[in-house]
Amino acid sequence: MSSEAQPQSNADYCADQVRAYDYHRYFAATFAPGDVRRGLIALYAFNLEIASVRERVSEAILGQMRLQWWRDTIGEIYNGTVRNHAVVSEIAWTIDAFDLPQDGFGRMIDARLFDLEDDPPEDSAALMGYASATSGQLASMASLICGETGFAADAAAAGTFWGVTGLLRALPHHAGQRRVYLPNDYLREYGLTADDVVERRNPAAMGAAVAAIVAFIGRSKAAGINVPRPARPAVAYSPVATLYLRSLEKAGWDVYAEGLEPSRFRGQIKILGSAMTGRV
């Protein structure tokens, strides 16, 4: 047997990426059986590719070209051609294994065009639409991989809640790039501008706006979802968002406060509980 290191498989590459950059989804996926877990990890690796486009390019046109590359690549998979790319290979396997719909990938890719813009969402409906087409669609596709077509809508609701919460969690990071995902209607209502968010001006108004958005997404969150056991790995990460929001409330809705992110251990416990009970 050769002592040389063996080349990393496409599946291992995807797993490493998701473990490093999307840990909560990764940990939830570990509760799925082998092939389902592989499919979930491939889907999440694809999501990382399109979600990171803005940070990989210097101009919007380059980001548009990259997203078009993914749009073309997904179309080629459905036509029987697979490009030589680790994530593409795994997504092609997943599409074939679980008969995933092409339009689901298209919706996620199209939604990421908004990441290339510098203006905030126009209103709360636009914010929810973005979260639905990104994290919501992702969770819906994940439920299909788990074999639960009837749970896709509820999975999308859980994913959308996770997505909006994620935008609040990432607000300091986005502000550092002069990107603002707080919708304009909330900014206007609380006397804020996008520049105020970026420059961290008027923290009292900022906290009030954040509190209002949290209340809004709380009303939008589907209540009483009973997650079928096979679908739990698709959404078991969702309750981790609640841990963050509780910390945010204790911090007076200051998204820049220290210690808002739950520890990895607390997140694991929350995901484990959801995987065992089906509560999200």
Concatenated DSSP letters of 113-173: GGGG--SPPSSHHHHHHHHIIIIIHHHHHHHHHTT-GGGHHHHHHHHHHHHHHHHHHTHHH
- Angle (CA) 31 33 34, round 5°: 120
The count of C-alpha atoms lying within 13 angstroms of the C-alpha of 249, restricted to the half-sphere facing its C-beta, is 12
Cα–Cα distance measured from residue 217 to residue 242, given in angstroms and rounded to the nearest whole number: 11
List, for residues 67-104, the tens digit of each pLDDT value.
999 999 999 999 999 999 999 999 999 999 999 999 99
Quick one: average pLDDT of 224-231?
Answer: 87
Indicate if the pLDDT at residue 6 is higher than 60: no
Q: Is the pLDDT of residue 229 over 90?
A: yes
Among 133, 140, 136, which residue's Cα sits nearest to residue 114? 133
Exposure of 7 by Cβ count < 10 A (0-12 exposed, 13-18 middle, 19+ buried)? exposed
CA distance 138 to 107: 10
Question: What is the phi/psi pair of residue 31, to 5°?
Answer: -85, 0
pLDDT in tens, 91-146: 999 999 999 999 999 999 999 999 999 899 999 999 999 999 999 999 999 999 99
pLDDT of 246 reads: 96
User: How far apart (Å, rounded) are the C-alpha atoms in residues 143 and 148?
Assistant: 5
Short-list 246, 275, 57, 81, CA closest to 169: 246
User: What pLDDT score does 240 carry?
Assistant: 96
* Cβ atoms < 10 Å from Cβ of 12: 14
Contact in structure between 185 and 122 (CB atoms under 8 Å): yes
**What is 18-46 written as a DSSP string?**
HHHH-HHHHHHHTTS-HHHHHHHHHHHHH
